[in-house]
Amino acid sequence: MASKKLMMTILWIVFVFLQSCANGKPQVPCLFVFGDSLSDDGNNNNLVTLAKCNYRPYGIDFPKGPTGRFSNGRNMIDFLAQLLGFEDYIPPFATARGKEILKGVNYASGAAGIRNETSGQNQGDRISMDRQLKNHETTMSEINRMLGNNHNTTVEYLSKCIYSVAIGSNDYLSNYFLPQYYPTSRLYTQQQYAVVLIDQLSQQLTTLYQYGARKLAVFGLSEIGSIPLERSLCGNGTKGSACVDNINNAAQLFNDRLKSLLSQLNNKLTNATFIFINATEIGATSPSLASMVADVPCCKVSNITGLCKPFGNTCSNRSQYIYWDAIHPTEAMDALFAGRAYKAQSPNDASPFDISHLAQL
């Protein structure tokens, strides 16, 4: 029964892919990506940081091998780009050059946060959301030059693009819940911290709007307390379960406020459409996940970083694992999440609608 459910999910994803590619051209002219390691496709490769993965076994199932994606294969953004009809992957800002930027740029960075200090003390360099916005400003200037230095033409072009924003996990896992490095949890209650994060994210999303973004898909947090790294840090037994629940509850406070914020921005900002992708709901209501390994990673990981050890062993049945390393999902999971974000299977997957509808606006 479990394998049958998994097969049905795979067939559904294939069906969605075929539908999205039917017209032979992208549904939107470009896709711009902001976020953390769930979306990063190579921006951290040349940074002095622990948050990099341009080595085997990362990329073991990716045609180009290790590229800086925190996955055994494609990540969520790769699948989303395919669903939107793009033939090529969206290039990372670190290497994006020439006319390819007209189809979009990926600014996401492993360990990045909404707050600038997030991950800095325990991970090293990373490109925070504020820095990603600065990088996008550079791209915009270049696009404007390519389009004849016509501001109105550039604004019109960008208004048709989709902007993906998936960030916030590190502001909890590599900030609030690391009191040995950061004072955040002593300064704010969980409720207060959610307000602080959402207020800053609101400013960042408004900046994107001012830059010309009109179609924005913003991802909520998944149950970040349930990843293998946090399970191991929390320990086993009742105390461990309470610890995991505490982290997940904090993430839910953030999600509730994020959904409310996006509704407010839709009412406040003219001609803008912000949609909320409910990652927690998708993870909790996908029947095929019940048959997958959820408590341990597929690769042999470092106890310090939770990332795969260089050239370490991996499981052979990778499609049966939810987590590739102790933090990040496998390619199979990324396909599932991208599929339901693009084409909702439940009314609770996305609000007010999914990415396929956002593309049609």
Give the model's pLDDT for residue 121.
93
Marked catalytic residue, from 20, 37, 119, 351 = 37
Distance, CA of 114 to CA of 34 (rounded, Å): 11
Q: Which regions of the chain are under pLDDT 50?
A: 1-3
Exposed, middle or buried, 311 (CB in 10 Å: 0-12/13-18/19+)?
exposed
State the pLDDT at residue 10: 56
* pLDDT of amino acid 160: 98
Angle at 282 between CA 86 and CA 300, to 5 degrees: 80
357 classed as catalytic: no
Question: How many other CB atoms are found less than 10 A from the CB of residue 225?
Answer: 24
Distances (CA, A) of 124 to 50, 118, 141, 175, 322: 6, 10, 29, 13, 27
Catalytic status, residue 325: yes
Q: Which helix (H) or strand (E) holds 211?
A: helix 190-211
Distance (Å, whole) CA 20 – CA 16: 6
Give the whole-angstrom CA distance, residue 340 versus residue 170. Answer: 23
Catalytic site residue from 39, 109, 328, 351: 328
Q: Which two tokens stand for residue 18?
A: 């075929």
In a 3-state reduction of DSSP, which class is residue 136?
helix
Q: Out of 78, 325, 349, 354, pick the active-site residue.
A: 325
pLDDT at 316: 94
Among the listed residues 170, 26, 39, the one whose alpha carbon sits nearest the alpha carbon of residue 85: 26
pLDDT at 238: 76
Q: Please give the torsion angle defined by the CA atoms of residues 346, 348, 352 and 353, in that order, rounded to the nearest 10 degrees.
A: -30
DSSP state of 172: I
Topology (CATH level 3) of domain 2-360: Rossmann fold (3.40.50)
Model pLDDT, residue 239: 78
199 is catalytic: no
Question: Which structure tokens are listed for 26?
Answer: 């992208």
Q: What is the helix, strand, coil percentage profile of the chain, to 5? A: 45, 10, 45
How high is the pLDDT of residue 16? Answer: 59
Condensed to tens digits (0 to 9), the pLDDT of residues 193-216 reads 999 999 999 999 999 999 999 999
**Is the full-model pTM beyond 0.75?**
yes
Summarised one tens digit per residue, pLDDT across range 100-114 is 999 999 999 999 999
End-to-end CA distance of the chain: 39
CA 214 to chain centroid: 19
